Each structure stands twice: as structure tokens, then as C-alpha cells.
Amino acid sequence: MEDLEKIKEICRYNRCNIIKTIHNANSGHPGGALSSVDILTVLFEKVMLNFPDWDKNPDFEKRDRFVLSKGHGSAGIYSVLAKRGYFPEEELKSFRKINSLLQGHPNTHIPGIEVPTGSLGQGLSLANGIALALKLDKNPAHVFVLLGDGELQEGSCWEAFMHAPHRGLNNVTAIIDRNNLQIDGSVDKIKDINPLNKKLEAFNWNVVEIDGHNIEEIYEALMNSKKSEKPTAIIAHTIKGKGVSFMENQCGWHGKAPSDEDCAKALQELGE
């Protein structure tokens, strides 16, 4: 990938904005935003056909769609959308403030957000519905959806996993942020979802496993998924809190804002 270093730098930049945004709001979910930001950055910078200026672009209906099923990871998608020019970066300062653009969980007032999310377990069903409508309209756009691994404990996810192959929705790519932690402990101990790859294969998905922090692996898996004959599930092995040493693999950082001191330390580690 000729612009690998540039994408890595954008990932670093977006990580800094996640920390600043949550620190400024004194509220939010850093762990799962940091685990998924490499995936979201590659998706929006390199893979998706997307147009920040939808109104000005006559082909906007052909844009690829994204659904953040794990809606609490909002600081991650907001940082990525701001960098991509969907709204001014200044708006990140409005995160979680009353009546502001950037609410705690994504909603459709926000440019780049297709559906409201936050109640876990619904995003894949929403993505399936969008994908089916696109197919009926003979629209070639692709739908990407990001789910948490703890989220997969919701039964509705499995109805949706059953549905996509049945309907031949090869225009759906489900990315699972497999960071092994949920709100208060390890996913495997709270309710084991293993063997995840075999379960998804049995549900007739094209299953791919990647290192969710390796930019080239992310890019290849996402691009290949656009050409698959089956819906693709990408199990992305990640580290919750990735990039900030004291947040990594700590479920205590699932939904906690960094203090002034934590924020300064995190930004220093991220090379800000």
C-alpha cells in the first residue's frame, strides 16, 4: 500500500481526537473507540465510496453505507468523520453536550450517520435491511457494519446472521471488533461466543480473521469482502484501549473519561 504511512498517521491523529473529545465531555467510551479506530479509518479513508458533500454530488445514492452497531464507540466514528470532512472538527467539542450535533450515541442529524444506534444488537438487522433495499433498487453500493464481540451475546444478532445469507446479501460486510472485553469483564467468561469463526461459517458466511490493527490486513479484508459471493464476516482481533498503555486491555476504561492528567499522558504517548 503506497500510502500506508499516511493512513497510520491519520489513525494516530484520530486516536488523539478520541482522547480529547471524551476528555472535553468528561464522559464517553474510550476503550472500544480506540480498539476500532484503525478499522474505521481504513474504511472511510480508503475503502468506502463516500461523499462528505452528499447534497453536491449527483451520485450520492451510490455511496457505500456504514452502520456503527456498537453505538457507544461514537467518539471513534465522530473523529473519523470529522477528519474526512463530514463536519468541522470544531464540532468534536460539542460531544455529549445538550442540544449539540454530536450526541453520546450516533443519530441521523449527523452527516455520515445513516441510522441511529446505541441499543446493542440491532445494527446487523439494520444493515441487512439497507442491503436488501439496495439490491432491489439495483444499486451497487455496499453496506459495512461494525459490531462488538460482547454485543454478539444479544440474540437478535444471530437472527440477523441467519438472515443475510438466506437473502443472498453479499453486499453486507460485518466487522466484529474482537477485543475480548465487554463492559465489566471478559467476553469469554461472561458468556462465551467461541468458536466464533465456526459458528459464522455454519451460518453460511464468508469468514475472515485479521489483526484489527494491521492497516494492510484491514484494507485487504475489506476490499475482498466487496467481491465475495457470500456476506462476509471479518473477525478483527483487537486490543481494547489500543495505543494508550494504561488503557490497553483494561475494561475499567470501557466507559470512563480520562482526567486532565490521564489526557496529557495519553496524548504524550500518542506523540501529540
Q: Which residues within the stretch 251-270 sit at the binding site for ligand TPP (CB under 6 A)?
A: 254
Which residue of the chain is nearest ligand TPP when measured via CB?
A: 148
Residue 170: all three cell numbers together = 453479499
* Segment lying near ligand TPP (by CB under 6 A), choices 37-45, 74-82, 146-154, 214-222: 146-154
Q: Among 217, 66, 219, which Cα is nearest to 144's?
A: 66
Residues with Cβ < 8 Å from 58, sequence gap 6 or more?
Answer: none
* Segment lying near ligand TPP (by CB under 6 A), choices 14-22, 28-36, 51-59, 75-83: 28-36
By CB under 6 A, tell whether 38 contacts ligand TPP: no
Encoded one letter per residue, x for contact with ligand TPP by CB under 6 A and - for no contact, window 151-180 reads x-------------------------x-x-
SS3 label, residue 67: strand
How many Å is the maximal CA-CA distance in the chain? 53
Q: Which residue's CB is nearer to ligand TPP, number 31 or number 112? A: 31
| Min separation Cβ 181 and ligand TPP, Å | 5
Q: How far is CA 149 from CA 77, 154, 186, 211, 240, in A?
A: 18, 10, 10, 15, 11
47: DSSP letter: I
Residues near ligand TPP (CB under 6 A) are 31-32, 35, 70, 72-73, 118-121, 148-151, 177, 179, 181-183, 240, 254
